[in-house]
Structure 1
Amino acid sequence: MALRLIEIIVPKAKKKNIIDLKKLPLVIDAWQEENTVSNFIFKILVEAENSEVLIDKVSRLFKKDEIFRIVVQDVEATLPLVEVPLKEPIKKSIGKLTVSREELYNQVAGMAELNYLYLLMIAFATIIASFGFIEDKWVVIIGAMVVAPLIAPNIAFSLGVVLGDKNLGMMGILAMGAGVLLVLAISLILGLTYPPDIASKSLQSTLFFSYADIIVALASGAVAVLAFTSGTAFALIGVMVSISLLPPLVAAGLVLGMGNFYLFSSAITLFLINFVALNLSGVVTFWFQGVRPKNWWEEKKAKHYRLAATGMWLFLLIILIIIIYLTHINFLFT
């Protein structure tokens, strides 16, 4: 059972408003203390899936106080052990977050931040994947897929859409755009200097696409969102491998460096299939998991963003399905 320790700091004059919170049925335990200044600190232990309810309730009570602050901490262990309650029926738990909205936001935003570390990891992953193609070693390419943080910007964009947060959405777009350009630039240079064998199995696998790629990308996008919303981000390692954003992008740069525009278009199409399906699945899964803005007036804007983004991704996905169909028809008659 995942636990969270919610630390609430309020003015001493308002402590009566917060002590009553320990009577809530979702509270496992609670402590209070007064520091040397004029603050009152109240700590509440809850299940991770109940933390958002408590945070929203406290935020509504004290959002106008300047001293007010909430700190959420992950609890590794506690003694005595917390009794595990009987879980609610599956139907009632569907669409319920295991982590709070705020915790989810901070985790996603932190991973999608465009900084030198993000760009360095992209650069090194591209070099590793490029030489994996050059040496025709899939194990090396898979290692590069695990290193590359390309999935985080897509998740950030999807979360920004669902929450109606333009800043988070733009953060995801900028990080993804910078990552894509960096991958293409490095792989293009390596394609000019160390051209791979086009007939190699590893390169050929990224130059052809089918309907199965759409299904895999949709499923991978859903798993990525579930990993974040359930607090099991370790599952992202498998998702990074299955979603396959990096290999077709690196392959596109390599063959472009060789001057082969036909194979470049094939590799880019596979990348776009994965990219579009991942983002469509991300928006839908976040919404299905019950991710919503905190305030009702923000929901109207978020709904507009959500519908617009879903419509755009569906439109692009239909175009890609048509391209797959036409490509297969052309292959059959040639």
Structure 2
Amino acid sequence: MRLVQLTVPTGKRETVLETLEDRGIDYVVTDEESKREYTAVVYFPLPSPAVEPVLDELQETGIDEDAYTVVVDAETVVSRRFASLREEYENGDVESDRISRQELQSEAESLTPTFSVYAIMTIISAVVATAGLLLDSPAVVVGSMVIAPLIGPALGLSVGSVIDDEELFQESLRYQILGIVLAVAAAAVFAWLVRVTNIVPPGLDISAVDEIAERLAPDLLSLAIALGAGVAGIISIATGTAVALVGVMIAAALIPPAAAAGIAIAWGQPSAAIGSTALVLVNVLSVNLAGLLTLWYVGYRPENLFSLGETEQRVRRRVFGLAAIVFVFALFLGGITYASYVTATFEENAREEVELALSEETFAQYQLLEFEVVMDDEYPFVSPERVIVTIGGPPEESPPELADTLRERVNQHTEDPVEVEVRYVNVIGG
């Protein structure tokens, strides 16, 4: 529910009151004594879905943006006429639950801080995320998402597009581009300082850190996270629900991958930064694409209906453009996903081959102690480089045919030959 406060320009008082009475809206009028160009202030409660059509109709009577129109939340309205008004406008679907176009625009603008605050908070969140990744600490990484100020620009671009506010669109676009650059740069600088000052162990293999490795070679599931964040973000802002929590989800799609890209750059592995950088870009584009589609679906349109056709064409071009770019990135992520699948299949088959070989009567005295597949560093499409098989057996010279058999069997499951290293451990029976 909303309470609308409207300043009535001189000469418009009767027209405004007639409009409200025709719609069955209760109102209170107070005379304006400021001796300006206003004659009165009108207060009237409205269901949330009624705010936009009522304000649009009042604007048609001559109430322009030079007059003050204030819309605030109303906790409770006790009135029979208001109950009938709610029945008229609230029908239980998503479109009736949404806030007005005017409120949406104000909400999108309020979620975007000043650039200095935005830059500082983005840098801090990127530094915290970098520390969390290097520590392999999910809790710290989540903390970095909470302070990231990304929801405003991420949603402002979509809002500006559908309501034909090009200023909001351009500002949000600049914020998003600069935010990505700042996040990656801040992460790279901080990670470099951590590395050269030996805060982390010298020779740290970043691919061995789970929180980093999963973002250096992302898969298609990451795309679902970004699309879900975009839809949830728009629905939350459009219905006035918990926007801050959805902001954490949007930050989850952007900040940790940007930090991973910065770490890879700081470690002198630019190829390792390709996957995480692609993940950042596809997530940004997916959030905007999902936002555009959701806003248009729930019924937001520009204020000036004469510009509806032009706005619709612009939104359609942006949707098709974003969808095409997201599709290209999706193919890239699909390639990474397929490479991961091939690797996982190879590891499973290779282990089975080793176990089958050791189950034969010839090698019955030996047992598999450890099996490891070492990947190469050709990110983001990593592949098996070496297989290490640790075998336990009696304290005597191991048969050379066992190593040859294992190499032959393991390499049956890969196109490119893989080095197989067999290690023997003496096992003394009790």
The two structures have a TM-score, normalised by structure 2, of 0.71
Q: Secondary structure at the match of 2:217?
A: coil
- C-alpha displacement at 1:124, in angstroms? 1.7
Q: Which residue of 2 aligns with 1:299?
A: 308
What is the aligned counterpart of 2:333 among 321, 324, 331? Answer: 324
In structure 2, the CA distance between the partners of 1:94 and 1:110, relative to structure 1 (3 Å rule), is: closer
Instruction: Work out whether residues 164 and 303 of structure 1, in 8 Å CA contact, stay in contact via their aligned partners in 2.
Output: no
Is 1:255 the equivalent of 2:253? no
The letter for the 1-side match of 2:333 is I
Q: Which residue of 2 aligns with 1:218?
A: 227
- C-alpha displacement at 1:192, in angstroms? 0.8
Q: Which residue of 2 aligns with 1:7?
A: 5
Q: How does 1:74-85 map to 2 (within 5 A)?
A: 74-78=73-77, 83=83
Instruction: Work out whether residues 162 and 306 of structure 1, in 8 Å CA contact, stay in contact via their aligned partners in 2.
Output: yes
Is 1:34 the equivalent of 2:34? no
Q: Secondary structure at the match of 2:136?
A: coil
- Judge which range, 193-202 or 262-271, deviates more: 193-202
Report the Cα distance in structure 1 between the residues aligned to 2:267 and 2:127, rounded to whole angstroms: 17
Q: How does 1:1-334 map to 2 (within 5 A)?
A: 3-25=1-23, 27=25, 29-36=26-33, 37=35, 38-63=38-63, 68-78=67-77, 83=83, 89-90=91-92, 93-96=93-96, 98-195=98-195, 197=204, 198=206, 199-232=208-241, 234-241=242-249, 243-331=252-340, 332=342, 334=383
- C-alpha displacement at 1:221, in angstroms? 0.8
Q: Secondary structure at the match of 2:216?
A: coil
Q: Secondary structure at the match of 2:275?
A: helix
Report the Cα distance in structure 1 between the residues aligned to 2:238 and 2:334, rounded to whole angstroms: 35
Q: Secondary structure at the match of 1:112?
A: coil
The two structures have a TM-score, normalised by structure 1, of 0.90
What per-residue deviation string (whole Å, max 9, x for no partner) do you get for residues 3-47 of structure 1?
1111111234321111123324463x3100102125211111111
Q: Supply the RMSD in Å over aligned alpha carbons.
A: 2.4
Report the Cα distance in structure 2 between the residues aligned to 1:216 and 1:182, rounded to whole angstroms: 22
Unpaired runs of at least 5, structure 2: 344-382, 384-430
In structure 2, the CA distance between the partners of 1:19 and 1:164, relative to structure 1 (3 Å rule), is: closer
The letter for the 1-side match of 2:48 is A
Report the Cα distance in structure 2 between the residues aligned to 1:327 and 1:206, rounded to whole angstroms: 11
Instruction: Work out whether residues 10 and 67 of structure 1, in 8 Å CA contact, stay in contact via their aligned partners in 2.
Output: no
Instruction: Work out whether residues 221 and 281 of structure 1, in 8 Å CA contact, stay in contact via their aligned partners in 2.
Output: yes
Report the Cα distance in structure 2 between the residues aligned to 1:253 and 1:230, rounded to whole angstroms: 36
Report the Cα distance in structure 2 between the residues aligned to 1:97 and 1:57, rounded to whole angstroms: 20
The letter for the 2-side match of 1:194 is V
In structure 2, the CA distance between the partners of 1:322 and 1:132, relative to structure 1 (3 Å rule), is: same
Ranked by relative contact order (alpha carbons within 8 Å, sequence separation 6 or more), the top structure is: 1
- C-alpha displacement at 1:235, in angstroms? 4.1
- C-alpha displacement at 1:88, in angstroms? 5.2
What per-residue deviation string (whole Å, max 9, x for no partner) do you get for residues 195-236 of structure 1?
46511121122222222221222122111000011011x244
Report the Cα distance in structure 2 between the residues aligned to 1:133 and 1:194, rounded to whole angstroms: 12
Q: Secondary structure at the match of 1:123?
A: helix
Instruction: Work out whether residues 90 and 96 of structure 2, in 8 Å CA contact, stay in contact via their aligned partners in 1.
Output: no
- C-alpha displacement at 1:96, in angstroms? 3.6
- C-alpha displacement at 1:285, in angstroms? 0.2
What per-residue deviation string (whole Å, max 9, x for no partner) do you get for residues 26-83 of structure 1?
63x310010212521111111112111111011111146x863322122244567975
The letter for the 1-side match of 2:137 is K
Report the Cα distance in structure 2 between the residues aligned to 1:266 and 1:67, rounded to whole angstroms: 50
Count of aligned pairs: 327
In structure 2, the CA distance between the partners of 1:55 and 1:111, relative to structure 1 (3 Å rule), is: same
Q: Secondary structure at the match of 1:122?
A: helix
- C-alpha displacement at 1:268, in angstroms? 0.7
In structure 2, the CA distance between the partners of 1:6 and 1:131, relative to structure 1 (3 Å rule), is: same
Report the Cα distance in structure 1 between the residues aligned to 2:306 and 2:177, rounded to whole angstroms: 31
Report the Cα distance in structure 2 between the residues aligned to 1:291 and 1:22, rounded to whole angstroms: 23
- C-alpha displacement at 1:318, in angstroms? 1.3
